[in-house]
Structure 1
Amino acid sequence: MRIDIIGVGKIKERYLRDGIAEYAKRLGRYCKFNIIEVADEKTPEHASDGVERLIKSKEGERIAKHLRDDAYVIALAINGKQLSSEQFAAHINDLGLHGTSHIQFVIGGSIGLDDAILKRANYLLSFSKMTFPHQLMRMVLAEQIYRAYKINAGEPYHK
């Protein structure tokens, strides 16, 4: 299985880069794991709805360049479906059993994802109704993908 996380913006904090690198290393025994970063747009404070739509559109175009036609795309969205770790693991396992060999997760920037990316997605996933920093979500998602592989392999992992 090939798994990509496509995220808007660079990870600036060292502790997050280190955490993501650790999970990427651990995932190496289960899948081909890749992080793709696309440039973010500067969002002015108190941006109008029109400016925010334009920013999301530009970031969406950058994301779209990396989306593959043969990939199953899971977009992180606050209005997506919430799953337990076990349900998430089962979803990944089911995709593999049904012939999916490439999953691409998409994490938007600070104001979310463009509607075109949400429409392209095969699945909308939410980690919570709360808002999290998009940089932190990259590490949380990497950890949950690793946890899913551990669950699917029947290997112990913290509950």
Structure 2
Amino acid sequence: MVNINIICVGKIKEKYIKMGMEEFLKRMNLYAKVKIVELKEDGNDSDRERSIERESSEIIKMAEKHKGFNVLLDIGGKKLSSEEMAKEIEKITVRGMSTINFIIGGSYGVSDEVRRISGLRLSFSDMTFPHQLMRLILLEQVYRWFSILGNSKYHK
């Protein structure tokens, strides 16, 4: 079974996002073990670079703890269709990686070091999404990717 870690900065506050996430986490039990790793948000408006460094340092620690293939959600990353990303997941697991870490940085972004430790930088869109909502979108897509790989009706 594949282990999926979603390493993210900050906590979910909105109830409707929590409910949506719970639904996809429940569905994912068929395909993978999913863990949400929430890191403390620094959010220091007066020193954004310092916030990025602090949050990025914690992201790197968690990625190292959960040794696996790191996928950074990054607006400047590669754009893939759901089918293409499902194939990427398959390639990752065929290469023997049983853990995939999806990384969602804080509102100010991540350090270059986080980009360097990422085997794939993935962009969902040129648009900017709230980080909390992005977690729900990511969980839905992870479920979709595994549904594609499992030939489930969900994707159709």
Verify same fold: TM over 0.5.
Answer: yes
Distance 1:43 1:151 in 2: 41
1:102 maps to which of 99, 104, 109: 99
1:74 maps to which of 57, 64, 71: 71
- Structure 2 portions without partners, runs of 5+: none
- Structure 1 portions without partners, runs of 5+: none
Q: Equivalent pairs: percent with the same residue?
A: 41
What is the deviation of 1:42? Answer: 2.3
Match of 2:132 in 1: 135
Cα displacement string for residues 114-149 of structure 1 (whole angstroms, at most 9, x for unaligned residues) = 221111111100001111111111010000000001
Distance 2:88 2:43 in 1: 35
Q: Residue 95 of structure 1 aligns to which amino acid in structure 2?
A: I
Computed over aligned residues only, the root mean square deviation of the Cα atoms, in angstroms, reads 1.3
Is 1:119 the counterpart of 2:120 in the alignment?
no
5 Å-filtered alignment, 1:3-152, equals 3-44=4-45, 47=46, 51-68=47-64, 70-152=67-149
Distance 2:110 2:59 in 1: 9
Structure 2 length normalisation: TM-score?
0.94
Structure 1 length normalisation: TM-score?
0.92
Cα displacement string for residues 24-61 of structure 1 (whole angstroms, at most 9, x for unaligned residues) = 110011011100000001242xx5xxx22111001011
SS in 1 for 2:86: helix
Distance 2:149 2:142 in 1: 11
Distance 1:113 1:76 in 2: 10
SS in 1 for 2:7: strand
Return 3-12 or 59-68, whichever deviates more. Answer: 59-68
Q: Residue 43 of structure 2 aligns to which amino acid in structure 1?
A: K
